[in-house]
Amino acid sequence: MRFTSQTSSDGVTEQLFALPFAFGEIPGVLWTPDGDAGTRPLILMGHGGGQHKKAPGIVARARRFAAECGFAVVAVDAPGHGDRPRSEEHDRIIAEIRTCAQTGGELTPLIAGFHTLLTGQTVPEWRAVLDAVQELDHVGAGPVGYWGMSLGCGLGVPFIAAEPRVRAAVLGLNGAETSAEAAAQITVPVEFLVQWDDEMVPRAASLALFDVFASAEKTLHANPGKHGEIPAFELDSTLRFFARHLG
């Protein structure tokens, strides 16, 4: 794990890193409260499709997790996103998704196919990132949570199902098509966000994914609005959810 930069503002330290791994270096970012060493809860954040590890929605949430809860937070670029190279197959699928979204076609099978393509790579990558980050003095092997919407949910579900260190997850904006089988193996507490007027994920597919989680504690929060329009008060709820289960 190689750190390439470190900055601090408003009590939160941000470190960019690159982690060598089988499919090439994984570029990532780690946020921690300034100055504290010692073990703390860790949140892994999976960004949405077309976004990257420092997308505004990721940074804003990560800084609140660190500043208000004292958590460490890590985000990495998914394959084909951010600072990572895109394969020809990535390019082809992303172009198909864009065209389909513009022409009002059936998005679900395209998105499901893209998630399936990436998952074989991202599950071992997240495990490698978790191994590396938990060895740091200012993170340590504390309880782990996962946050991921949309692509970050699609890639997160198989990872959480496979990784016993993850103890709680906030997921959403994704349907049952790709990940129902893995979701049925998840037993940790889940807070699941649905946008009631989501133009990319059919409402029934979202409800079906919530239905399949095997968790004794799972809670669905649905709000009006489109795919990208999660209301601000849900972040307050996310903070309390993680504080309750990891704090």
Residues that bind a second copy in the complex, under the rule CB under 8 A: 194, 196, 207, 210-211, 216-224, 231, 233, 236-237, 240, 244
- Rounded Cα–Cα distance for residues 215 and 237 (Å): 19
Cβ distance to a second copy smaller for residue 131 or 236: 236
Least CB distance to a second copy at residue 174 (A): 17
Cβ distance to a second copy smaller for residue 96 or 217: 217
- Cβ atoms within 10 A of the Cβ of 18, count? 16
Cβ distance to a second copy smaller for residue 16 or 208: 208
Q: Are 175 and 198 in contact (CB under 8 A)?
A: no
Strand 26-33, strand 72-76: pairing: antiparallel
DSSP state letters, 166-191: EEEEEEES--HHHHHHHHTT--S-EE
Cβ distance to a second copy smaller for residue 3 or 233: 233
Least CB distance to a second copy at residue 193 (A): 10
With CA atoms as reference, report the closest residue to 42 among 192, 242, 244: 242
Least CB distance to a second copy at residue 226 (A): 14
Least CB distance to a second copy at residue 198 (A): 13
Cβ distance to a second copy smaller for residue 101 or 243: 243
- Rounded Cα–Cα distance for residues 116 and 191 (Å): 23
Q: What angle do CA 81, 239, 195 make, to 5 degrees?
A: 60
Least CB distance to a second copy at residue 142 (A): 22
Q: Are 187 and 215 in contact (CB under 8 A)?
A: yes
- Rounded Cα–Cα distance for residues 198 and 178 (Å): 17
Cβ distance to a second copy smaller for residue 52 or 221: 221
Least CB distance to a second copy at residue 68 (A): 15
3-state class of 70 per DSSP?
Answer: coil
